[in-house]
Amino acid sequence: MITIQNNDGDRRVLVLDSPFALDESPDFPEYLFDVIFVTNPSVGETQTILNSINPVTSTKCCYKPIFVAKALEGKMGNYAEIIDGYADDINSMDVLTAIENIINYNTLIGLSATEDPILSSNQFFIRLTRYLISRKKTILEPRLDVSASTGYVIPIFDLFYRQGAYELSDYFVFMQSMTEKGLFRISKFVNKVYLCPDCLHSHLLYVQTCPKCGQSSIQTEEVIHHFRCANVTPEHTYNFGGQLRCPKCHKVLQHIGMDYDRPAIIYTCNICGNTFIEPQTKTLCTSCHGAFDADQLIPQDFNIYEITSEGKQSIISPNIGFTIYTEFYDNYIEFNRFLSRIRLLAEQKFSGNITGDLLVGKIWVLDAEGLTMSIRPEIIELVCQYFPNNKVSVANNISYVGSVVRNYKNVGDTEEDIINFQVMLSETIRAAGHVLKSGERICYSYMKLQGNQSTIDDFVKEMEFISPMPDDSYCPDQDNPASKPAATSSSLQDEPEIE
Ligand SMILES: [Zn+2]
Ligand SMILES: [Zn+2]
Ligand SMILES: [Zn+2]
């Protein structure tokens, strides 16, 4: 059963007792409720409910206060990390206070409850860190967990890792990138551990092996040094009917330290008979079953991180998604820098310092109603990849690519380069198709600087606007029916389909 009830603080509480596809349901839009209350008394069922209805990954519930039944207190494992309280009465004083504190703080810091579905690891990390800020949990401390991927895990991260929210490699890059940007700070070093180079899991078996045949069926034996004749051989060669007798001079050994000693241990391989002083250490990953030499393992520091005050501001800001991409793509620049660059190039062109055409490509997405939408980070990533030699930026719901076409000798060369620029823009918007949701359309147009010094301002001004007549547009629903599963086997096409 699922209902919406007003509490004594005049907040609307979504009360439910069983799993429900809330994000997909048209009956309970995000704006109809402020708080979630799960009344199911079972640990397992409540955990199942929280897998989809939670304040981190749910588009309708993000950052909203969430409470579960009183009986579950202390029993929810890592799920406790996303629960604001345990109660049987939605009007108990504690609950009312907790709700007001969270809602007022979210309003104060400007965290809006509306978010898009999560499409990438980085989007997930932003959502999770926003949630942590909303709950004033700015210390991220790894704990040892025998069942966790990397041994040391931050419990709330691990909760979602187990649901497939992110890749481990993305996690380490994210933590490092946030620290380099000053958005996180290492408040304490915890430990350096070694991870599997293939899957980054920490659960490795260390195996000592024969350096010759690589098998681990080896045994150790002490070596005996007989002072009198200087014989040094393994202990078993001294064994004669329960006595220690030198195999070289046949004297019976008396006292260790007096007439003999045991200077070393040697290893013998039971498989190939090889004798050696030092076995080779190999590791076996219990997760991916890969076998590696010890020096191939990846050293990884685990730290306690703190979200800095600068981090809190940046993470809550809507542009954070792009900020992260700048770490990977050095052709992405802030819009103000992009604008000054375009101005500079334009002035250079009109003063004759550069020959060639100055082009700006604009890419934008329209929703089903034909309104522009904010550019998703995945699209920026694609644009950066498709135009590695051009500067890329984002503003006004538009992704920009700046390009100077130059060094041409014949008139025809320019035209060809401009056409290539357009072709790349067309390919980019098609590649972005898989990021679009039903009904959305991605468009591009390009601008070419013309005129003289006095037209630069107009050119820059025009960059802010989208054209009602794009040069090309793409809507996966309408333009690409052949890619639908129901279609018959695809006929030969000019261009390969982008998966
Ligand atoms: Zn001897
Ligand atoms: Zn061997
Ligand atoms: Zn592995």
- Residues 80-90 pLDDT 10s: 999 999 999 98
Q: Are 266 and 179 in contact (CB under 8 A)?
A: no
* One-letter amino acid of 41: P
Ligand 2 centroid from CA 219, angstroms:
11
Percent of the residues in the chain that have a pLDDT greater than 70, as a whole number: 91
**Which two structure tokens, joined as six digits, stand for 83?**
């629960």
Distance from C-alpha of 488 to C-alpha of 414, rounded to nearest angstrom: 42
pLDDT band, very low/low/confident/very high, at 493 (cuts 50, 70, 90): very low
pLDDT at position 357, please? 86
What average pLDDT is seen over the chain? 88
Ligand 1 centroid from CA 257, angstroms:
14
pLDDT at position 485, please? 42
Ion ligand 2, residue ranges at CB < 5 A: 210, 212-213, 269, 271-272, 274
Ligand 3 centroid from CA 165, angstroms:
19
Q: Is the pLDDT of residue 411 over 80?
A: no
**Which two structure tokens, joined as six digits, stand for 121?**
């690891």
Distance from C-alpha of 244 to C-alpha of 281, rounded to nearest angstrom: 33
Ligand 1 centroid from CA 265, angstroms:
19
Distance from C-alpha of 366 to C-alpha of 439, rounded to nearest angstrom: 9
Q: Is the pLDDT of residue 159 over 50?
A: yes
Q: Are 433 and 472 in contact (CB under 8 A)?
A: no
Q: List 301's β-bridge partners, or say none.
A: 192
Distance from C-alpha of 132 to C-alpha of 140, rounded to nearest angstrom: 9
Ion ligand 3, residue ranges at CB < 5 A: 196, 198-199, 201, 285, 287-288, 290
Q: Is the pLDDT of residue 487 over 60?
A: no
